Amino acid sequence: MKKTARFIFAICFSIILATGFLASTAGASTDEVPYVYDGDGVITEAQRLVLDNRAKSLSEKYRCDVRIFVVSDMRGYGYQDILDLQNYFYSSLYLGYGYDRNCVLLTLSIDDRDFDLAVWGDRANNAFTLYGIDNILDKHILPRLGNNEYYAAFQAFLGRAEDYFEMAENGKPFDARTDTANIRAKLIPIALASLLIAFLACTIMKNSMKTATLAKTAHSFIPAGGFTLTAQGDQFLYMTTARTRIQSNSSSSNRASSNRSGGSSGRSGKF
């Protein structure tokens, strides 16, 4: 059944390409291509339509294609690398908004558990910084994909994409300098260090005000006739146990976000 679906999708894409090239010369768009395509049935059709409408709305509002393509197996399209499949979709379907074809494309190959998030064009790259790509993947998309929560992952992708575009429109693209959570994480250690310094300073000042000194001997506490030790013994009071957590060596094949050829950037790997 999946092979039949992939075959039909490939035929439809070929038809779109044949008509899209002629239409593009007249200034037509690629509205025929779905903004959200689910070739593996990971979400319901009702959910796909909700996501498709939202992606289309975002694309038109911020003049940048925002799309999600899901396939069962990229080998059904003749590719071994998710990056090549993503490039095929972008180039063959002529995705992108404007003369520099601004586009943000999330591609999944379900059988391989491969993902790719790619960004093309000045407007898209301005909104999706390398820091932003890592953040949206690691904090919002990959944790949900890892639990097979596809609809939630796609919702998070579109929601964060809107935030990124809005911040870029306001002249403050999402990066380490504008990430409020990251800023708070850096401020907490600084605040703790400041409190520690203040505590030490107050302690030193307090100790400097004491005039009493410690005696070097205990002669003043011994009776004139001396004392006799009648019994002695050891009594176990308590023990302290220290534990160190051993971190597991979990491997990840995710490529770091990087600038790619053709004015694009992105990241791919496993989910």
Q: Say which DSSP state 230 is in.
A: -
d(CA 95, CA 15): 15
Closest CA relative to residue 24, chosen from 98, 105, 102: 98
Cβ neighbours, 10 Å, residue 144: 18
User: What pLDDT shows up at residue 247?
Assistant: 44
Strands 258-260 and 114-120 come out as unpaired
d(CA 167, CA 255): 26
> What is the end-to-end Cα distance of the chain in Å, rounded?
24
Using DSSP, how many helices (H) and how many strands (E) does the chain show? 8, 6
Cβ neighbours, 10 Å, residue 182: 14
Residues paired with residue 265 on neighbouring β-strands, in sequence order: 119, 259
Note down pLDDT in tens along the chain; length 271 residues: 545 555 555 555 545 544 443 333 233 345 589 999 999 999 999 999 999 999 999 999 999 999 999 999 999 999 999 999 999 999 999 999 999 999 999 999 999 999 999 999 999 999 999 999 999 999 999 999 999 999 999 999 999 999 999 999 999 999 999 987 644 444 344 434 444 454 454 456 555 666 556 656 666 666 666 666 666 666 656 655 555 544 444 334 455 677 776 678 999 999 9
Strands 258-260 and 264-270 come out as antiparallel
Backbone angles phi, psi at 236, to 5 degrees: -75, 125
Residues paired with residue 120 on neighbouring β-strands, in sequence order: 103, 264
